[in-house]
């Protein structure tokens, strides 16, 4: 990667209550290029451009109940902004999110003991943190969520898989389609969209 080719880093806020503080911090460190309140089909967003030409944004996904920051810029500059944000606020990564789903035996396989609301929030955070390359631990969590006994968790698993190009996700969705009692339409729709991304 070139030292000038922009990179994108995503940070997930540990406590969504800090969103106003993060937005104020961003406004203090750049000039606003977008300031959008949440609407039915739009994420709340404060986006700024810094003097060194990086773009920082805090986005609040009210459906998934997740707040995250994106940092876009030349690698060295973006890394410096990520370090400042990491020093100022508390973030969670995939390891911490996956840990919320573990049962006493350390697995996320059903029937893991995490409450349905914990599953739904974790899936939304994983969707934001998901990279282009398939992550076996994340894939295991999505596979477990697709088989969860609570329909709302299975629905969240389907919703948060959108845009994923991982071969394992497709296989998990196809396997679930054969046995899913309630969400056939959503699974078929998602599989068709994933086919379009291939």
Residues 31-60 have pLDDT tens digits of 999 888 766 567 889 999 999 999 999 998
The pLDDT, as a whole number, for residue 1 is 61
In order of 8, 10, 26, the CA distances from 141 in angstroms are 24, 20, 33
pLDDT above 90: residue 106:
no
Length of the chain in residues, anyone? 198
Give the predicted TM-score (pTM) of the model. 0.86
Local confidence band at 107 (pLDDT 50, 70, 90 cut-offs): low
Q: Yes or no: say if 6 and 78 are a contact pair by the CB < 8 Å rule.
A: yes
Tokens of 192: 């068709």
What would the mean pLDDT of 3-12 be, rounded to a whole number? Answer: 90
> CA 113, CA 104: separation in Å to the nearest integer?
8
Instruction: For residue 30, give every residue at least 6 positions away whose Cβ sits within 8 Å of its Cβ, in sequence order, or none.
Output: 48, 49, 50, 51, 54, 56
Domain edges within the chain: 7-92, 94-197
Backbone angles phi, psi at 137, to 5 degrees: -70, -40
Residue pLDDT, tens place only, 166-191: 999 999 999 999 999 899 999 999 99
The pLDDT, as a whole number, for residue 112 is 59
Terminal alpha carbon distance of the chain: 25
The pLDDT, as a whole number, for residue 62 is 73
Tokens of 174: 């196809």
Query: What distance lies between CA 66 and its chain's CA centroid?
Result: 8
> CA 152, CA 70: separation in Å to the nearest integer?
28
In order of 5, 17, 176, the CA distances from 157 in angstroms are 33, 24, 11
**Looking at the domain 7-92, which fold is it?**
TATA-Binding Protein (3.30.310)
């Amino acid at each position: 990667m070139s030292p000038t080719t922009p990179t994108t880093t995503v940070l997930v806020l540990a406590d969504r209550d800090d969103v106003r503080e993060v937005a104020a911090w961003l406004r203090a460190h750049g000039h606003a290029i977008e300031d959008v309140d949440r609407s039915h089909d739009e994420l709340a967003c404060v986006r700024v451009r810094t003097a060194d030409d990086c773009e920082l944004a805090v986005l609040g996904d009210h459906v998934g109940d997740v707040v995250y920051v994106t940092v876009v810029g030349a690698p060295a500059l973006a890394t410096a902004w990520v370090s400042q944000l990491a020093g100022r606020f508390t973030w969670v990564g995939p390891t911490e999110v996956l840990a919320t789903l573990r049962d006493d035996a350390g697995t996320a396989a059903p029937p893991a003991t995490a409450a349905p609301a914990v599953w739904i929030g974790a899936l939304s955070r994983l969707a934001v943190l998901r990279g282009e390359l398939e992550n076996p631990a994340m894939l295991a969590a999505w596979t477990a969520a697709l088989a969860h006994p609570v329909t709302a968790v299975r629905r969240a698993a389907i919703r948060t898989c959108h845009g994923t190009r991982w071969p394992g996700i497709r296989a998990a969705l196809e396997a679930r389609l054969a046995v899913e009692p309630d969400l056939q339409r959503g699974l078929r729709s998602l599989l068709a969209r994933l086919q379009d991304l291939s």
